[in-house]
C-alpha cells in the first residue's frame, strides 16, 4: 500500500491493489475533505457515518463524484454503501462483504430538517435581534436567536423556573416512633398515614399514642426481590449519566464519545437502540476485557459461568447499543475520555451480568390506634452491582426476628414539623429525558440544542449541572407564550419530527411536508411580527432603556455637567485633555485589547467642524467653535488701521483663513511627517512621489487639531 497527500495538501490518500466484484482493481481510500479523487474511477464505496446525517453526506459526495467517474460501466451498479457500527477489523470486513445502497429517503429527511431549521430560525432570529438591538442598554442583543428545537428546550427550563417561583410551601406534621429492639439497638418506625397538614389533628394522633408503653407486632413479611440489570446503553442514557454522574456537559460528552469511536475503543455512539440483536457476538467484546486490571476477575467469572442474555429493550433499527470494542487503561486514555470509557465498559458488563437479589423484611406495628412500619433489606446476590457499585441496594440494618403478637417497648413517640419544598431547577439529565419524551431533537442533536441555550446566555449551568434561566431566557419564553404559545411548546416540533421520520421511511412526500410546514411557520412569523409589542412590554420590565444605562464620564463643555455614554467597547478619558474648539473633554474609545483606539471629542464627533469630515445624521445645527484671541505685531498686522488685537474663529474668520495653511502645517507636524529614508520606500504604483510632502490629508479630527496647534 502506498500513501500520499491529497490535493489539499493535508489529508492522505491510501492506494492499494485488491479484488472487487471478482476482478483485480486499484483502490483509492480518501476522506471527503475536498479531495474525493473521483476522476477516472469506475466504482465508489461510501463509508460515511451510518445515521441519517451520514446518509445525507453520501449524496453530497455522489453529486461531486458521479460527473467525473468513468461511464463505461453505467449499465451496472457502480455506487455502494458500507454499513458498520464500529471501526474494528471484523466489522469492516463484514461491511465490505455486505455492501448495500445509500438510502435516498433518509437523505431527504435530513434535507427537510436542515431547510426548515435554517429558514425558520433565521427569520425569527433576524427579526427579534434587529428589533431589540439598541433599545435596552443592559441587554446583550448581539444575537437573540430562535430555533424550532432550541426554543422548546429553553421552554422546559423556564417552565420549571416558573413552578419554583410560584411555589408556596405548606407546613405538615409527621409522627415518628422509636422502639427498643434489644439492649443496644432501637428501630425507627414510619407512620402509615405519612403526614397530615392540620396541626390539631396531628396533635390528636400524638396524644393517642405517646402514652402507650408497648408496640405490638401486627404482621411480618419477608420477600425476595430483584433489582434488574440495566438495559443496553444508547446515546440518550449515556448523555444522562455523563451529566449526572461524570459532571460532563452533553456536548462535551458527545465529542468525547466520538473521539473514542474514531480511535476504535467503542462502537458508534449515536444510536437509539437498547437491544442487542440475537446475532450479536457478546463474548467477543467481553474477552477483550479479560485482562483489564480493574474488572478482569468479574469478566473471567462471567466467561466461566456463562453470560446472561441482556434484557430486551427498544430496537430502533439503526445501530447496536454502545459497546466497548477493545480494552484501554486510564494511562492510555486519561482524563474525561477514560471516565466515559470506564462507564461504557462497566455498563456493558452489567447488561450481561445477573440481577441483584436481596431480601426485604417488613414489620407492621400498632401503637394505640395508629399503625407504623419498619423495613430492612439484606443482599443475597450482588449480581451486576459488583461492576456498578453505585447501583447497589442501600445498606439497612437487619430487622429482629419476630412474629405476630410480639411486643416491643416504646422508647419515644414525637411529632415533627416539616415543610413542603419546591422543585429544583432542571438538571441536564432531566432536560435530556424531557426532550426525548416529547420528541425534541434527535440523539445526535440533543446535545447541540442544550449547548446553544447555554452559549446564547439563556440559561447558566450551576452546581450539580442544573440549568437556571437568565432574565433574557425568561422574558423570551414568556413573550412567546404571550404571542403564540406553540412557538415554545414541544407539541408542534414533535409533530414535525414525526413527519420527518415518515419521509425517512418513505411514507411521506418530501415536498409536501416541507411546503406545509413552511406555510404554517410563515403565518406564525407574520403574526409574531405584528404582535412583537407584547414581548417588548416584558422587556421593558426586565431591562433598562438605553438612555438610563449610561455611565458619567466626560464633562460637557457647555453646561459643565457630566455626560453619559453607552459602554459599547471601552471608553475612558484621554489624558484629561480638552478640545480647543468647544472645550469638551476628550475621550479614548477602544474596540478591545487587540482593536484600534480612537481619541475623539464627543461634540465634534456628532457635529464635525471640518468640511471634509463625514457628518453624523443629527438634526442639531453645528455649534460655533471656540474663538481665538490674537495679538498681532504692529509691523505685520493684517488689520485695518493700527489695530493689533482680533478675536475670531480660526476656520471661519476671513483674516485667519488667509494666514493659516492647514495642509502645509499638517505635513510639517511630527505626527504627519513622512517616514524616514529607511521606511519611506513603498511598493507599487500607489506610493507617494518623493519630494511632495503635504499631499496627505488629515485622516481624522485629531490630525486637523495637530495642524491647528502647529
DSSP letters spanning 311-380: P-----SS-PPP-B-S---HHHH-HHHHHHHHHHHHHHHHHTSPPEEEEEEEEEEEETTEEEEEEEEEEE
Q: Which residues contact 538 (CB under 8 A, 6 or more apart)?
A: 475, 478, 479, 482
Q: Determine which helix (DSSP H) or strand (DSSP E) holds 557, and give its type and residue range.
A: none
| Domain 171-228+358-419 CATH class label | mainly beta
All three cell numbers of 590: 477602544
Task: Write out the three cell numbers for 374.
Answer: 419498619
Which cell is 94 given? 463484514
The C-alpha atoms of residue 293 and residue 421 are separated, in whole angstroms, by 45
Domain 2-104 = CATH 3.20.20.100: no
Lookup: cell for 138: 443592559
Residues marked as catalytic:
268
Low-confidence ranges of the chain (pLDDT < 70): 6-10, 34-35, 72-75, 546-569, 591-596, 610-627, 650-651, 660-710
The Cα–Cα gap between 5 and 600 comes to 53
CA-based angle 665:667:672, to the nearest 5?
120
CA triplet 121, 127, 129: central angle to 5 degrees?
Answer: 90
Report pLDDT for 669: 39
Task: Reduce the DSSP state of residue 15 to 3 states and report it.
Answer: strand
Asked, colleague to colleague, whether 2-104 and 108-167+425-542 share their fold, the answer is no
Q: Which option is the CATH number for 108-167+425-542: 3.20.20.80, 1.10.460.10, 3.60.40.10, 3.40.50.300? A: 1.10.460.10
The single-letter DSSP state of residue 194 is -
**Per-residue b or e along 457-488, where b marks 16 or more CB atoms closer than 10 Å to that residue's CB:** ebbeeeeebbbbbbebbbbbbbbbbebbebbb
User: How many other CB atoms are there within 10 angstroms of residue 82's CB atom?
Assistant: 18
- Is 581 exposed, middle or buried, given 0-12, 13-18 or 19+ CB atoms closer than 10 A? buried
CA atoms within 13 A on the CB side of 219: 7
> Which among 360, 376, 358, 359 has a CA at the least distance from the CA of 189?
376
- Report helix angle 52-65 to 104-132, nearest 10: 100
Domain map (residue ranges) of the chain? 2-104, 108-167+425-542, 171-228+358-419, 235-353, 554-662
Supply the pTM of this predicted model: 0.72
Question: Would you give the DSSP letter of residue 108?
Answer: H
Helix (H) or strand (E) holding 243: helix 235-244
Which position has the grid cell 479630527? 701
Residue for cell digits 445509500? Answer: 102
With vertex at residue 347, the alpha carbon angle to CA 314 and CA 395, rounded to the nearest 5 degrees, is 110
DSSP structure class, residue 68 = G
What is the C-alpha to C-alpha distance for residues 110 and 54, in angstroms, rounded to an integer? 10
Q: What b/e readout covers 123-162, taking b as 16+ CB neighbours within 10 angstroms?
A: bbbebbeebbeeebbebebeebbbbbbbbbbbbbbbbbbe
Contacts of 376 (CB under 8 A, 6+ apart): 360, 361, 362, 396, 397, 398, 399
Reduced to 3 states (helix: H, G, I; strand: E, B; else coil), residue 520 is: helix
Helix (H, G, I), strand (E, B) or coil at 296: helix
CB atoms within 10 A of CB 94: 14
Predicted confidence at residue 552, as pLDDT, reads: 62
Alpha helix stretches (DSSP H) within 560-652:
602-606
Name the grid cell of 544: 433598562
CATH fourth-level superfamily of 235-353:
Topoisomerase I, domain 4 (1.10.290.10)
- pLDDT score of 710: 36
Q: Which three cell numbers stand for residue 558?
A: 457647555
Task: Say how many C-beta atoms besides its own lie within 10 A of residue 432's C-beta.
Answer: 29
Give kind and range of the element (H or E) at residue 385.
none
- Exposure string of 261-281, with b = 16+ CB inside 10 Å and e = fewer, is bebebbbbbbbbbbbbeeeee
Please say whether the dihedral angle defined by the alpha carbons of residues 631, 635, 636 and 637, taken in this order, is positive or negative: positive
Nearest to 270 by CA among 233, 314, 317, 234: 234
Amino acid at each position: 500500500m502506498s500513501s500520499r497527500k491529497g490535493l489539499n495538501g493535508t489529508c492522505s490518500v491510501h492506494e492499494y491493489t485488491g479484488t472487487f466484484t471478482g476482478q483485480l482493481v486499484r483502490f483509492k481510500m480518501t476522506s471527503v475533505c475536498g479531495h474525493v479523487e473521483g476522476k477516472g474511477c469506475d466504482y465508489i464505496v461510501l463509508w460515511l457515518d451510518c445515521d441519517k446525517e451520514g446518509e445525507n453526506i453520501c449524496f453530497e459526495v455522489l453529486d461531486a463524484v458521479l460527473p467525473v467517474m468513468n461511464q463505461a460501466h453505467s449499465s451496472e451498479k457502480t455506487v455502494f454503501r458500507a454499513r458498520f457500527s464500529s471501526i474494528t477489523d471484523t466489522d469492516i470486513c463484514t461491511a465490505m462483504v455486505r455492501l448495500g445502497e445509500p438510502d435516498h429517503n433518509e437523505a431527504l429527511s435530513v434535507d427537510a430538517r436542515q431547510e426548515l431549521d435554517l429558514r425558520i430560525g433565521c427569520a425569527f432570529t433576524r427579526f427579534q435581534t434587529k428589533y431589540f438591538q439598541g433599545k435596552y442598554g443592559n441587554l446583550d442583543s448581539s444575537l437573540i436567536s430562535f430555533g424550532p428545537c432550541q426554543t422548546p428546550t429553553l421552554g422546559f427550563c423556564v417552565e420549571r423556573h416558573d413552578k419554583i417561583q410560584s411555589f408556596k410551601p405548606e407546613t405538615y406534621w409527621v409522627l415518628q416512633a422509636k422502639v427498643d429492639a434489644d439492649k443496644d439497638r432501637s428501630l425507627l418506625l414510619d407512620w402509615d398515614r405519612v403526614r397530615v397538614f392540620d396541626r390539631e389533628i396531628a396533635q390528636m394522633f400524638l396524644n393517642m399514642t405517646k402514652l402507650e408503653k408497648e408496640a405490638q407486632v401486627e404482621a411480618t413479611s419477608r420477600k425476595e426481590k430483584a433489582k434488574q440489570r440495566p438495559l443496553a446503553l444508547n446515546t440518550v442514557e449515556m448523555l444522562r449519566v455523563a451529566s449526572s454522574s461524570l459532571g460532563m456537559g452533553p456536548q462535551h460528552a458527545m465529542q468525547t464519545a466520538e473521539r473514542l469511536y474514531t480511535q476504535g475503543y467503542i462502537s458508534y455512539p449515536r444510536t437509539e437502540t437498547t437491544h442487542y440483536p440475537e446475532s450479536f457476538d457478546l463474548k467477543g467484546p467481553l474477552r477483550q476485557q479479560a485482562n483489564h486490571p480493574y474488572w478482569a476477575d468479574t469478566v473471567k467469572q462471567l466467561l466461566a459461568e456463562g453470560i446472561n442474555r441482556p434484557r430486551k429493550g427498544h430496537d430502533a433499527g439503526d445501530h447496536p447499543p454502545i459497546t466497548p470494542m477493545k480494552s484501554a487503561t486510564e494511562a492510555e486514555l486519561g482524563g474525561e475520555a477514560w471516565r466515559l470509557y470506564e462507564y461504557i465498559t462497566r455498563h456493558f458488563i452489567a447488561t450481561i451480568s445477573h440481577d441483584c437479589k436481596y431480601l426485604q423484611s417488613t414489620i407492621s406495628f400498632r401503637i394505640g390506634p395508629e399503625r407504623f412500619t419498619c423495613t430492612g433489606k439484606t443482599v443475597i446476590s450482588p449480581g451486576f452491582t459488583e461492576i456498578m457499585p453505585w447501583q447497589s441496594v442501600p445498606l439497612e440494618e437487619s430487622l429482629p426476628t419476630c412474629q405476630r403478637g410480639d411486643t416491643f417497648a416504646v422508647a419515644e413517640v414525637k411529632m415533627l414539623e416539616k415543610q413542603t419544598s419546591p422543585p429544583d431547577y432542571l438538571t441536564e439529565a432531566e432536560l435530556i429525558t424531557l426532550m426525548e419524551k416529547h420528541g425534541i431533537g434527535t440523539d445526535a442533536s440533543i446535545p447541540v440544542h442544550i449547548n446553544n441555550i447555554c452559549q446564547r446566555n439563556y440559561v447558566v449551568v450551576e452546581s450539580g449541572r442544573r440549568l437556571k434561566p437568565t432574565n433574557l431566557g425568561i422574558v423570551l419564553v414568556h413573550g412567546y407564550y404571550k404571542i403564540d404559545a406553540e412557538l415554545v411548546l414541544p407539541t408542534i416540533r414533535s409533530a414535525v419530527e414525526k413527519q420527518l421520520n415518515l419521509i425517512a421511511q418513505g411514507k411521506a412526500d418530501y415536498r409536501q411536508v416541507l411546503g406545509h410546514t413552511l406555510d404554517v411557520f410563515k403565518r406564525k412569523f407574520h403574526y409574531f411580527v405584528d404582535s412583537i409589542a407584547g414581548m417588548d412590554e416584558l422587556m421593558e420590565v426586565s431591562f433598562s432603556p438605553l438612555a438610563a444605562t449610561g455611565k458619567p464620564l466626560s464633562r460637557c463643555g457647555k453646561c459643565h455637567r457630566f455626560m453619559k455614554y453607552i459602554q459599547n467597547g471601552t471608553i475612558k478619558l484621554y489624558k484629561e485633555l480638552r478640545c480647543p474648539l468647544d472645550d469638551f473633554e476628550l475621550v479614548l474609545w477602544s474596540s478591545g485589547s487587540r482593536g484600534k483606539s480612537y481619541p475623539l471629542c464627543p461634540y465634534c464627533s456628532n457635529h464635525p467642524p471640518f468640511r471634509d469630515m463625514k457628518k453624523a445624521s443629527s438634526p442639531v445645527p453645528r455649534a460655533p467653535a471656540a474663538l481665538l484671541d490674537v495679538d498681532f505685531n504692529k509691523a505685520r498686522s493684517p488689520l485695518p488701521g493700527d489695530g493689533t488685537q482680533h478675536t475670531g474663529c480660526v476656520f471661519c474668520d476671513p483674516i485667519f483663513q488667509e494666514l493659516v495653511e492647514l495642509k502645509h502645517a499638517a505635513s510639517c507636524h511630527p505626527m504627519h511627517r513622512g517616514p524616514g529614508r529607511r521606511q519611506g520606500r513603498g511598493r507599487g504604483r500607489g506610493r507617494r512621489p518623493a519630494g511632495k510632502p503635504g499631499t496627505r490629508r488629515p485622516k481624522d479630527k485629531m490630525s486637523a487639531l495637530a495642524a491647528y496647534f502647529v
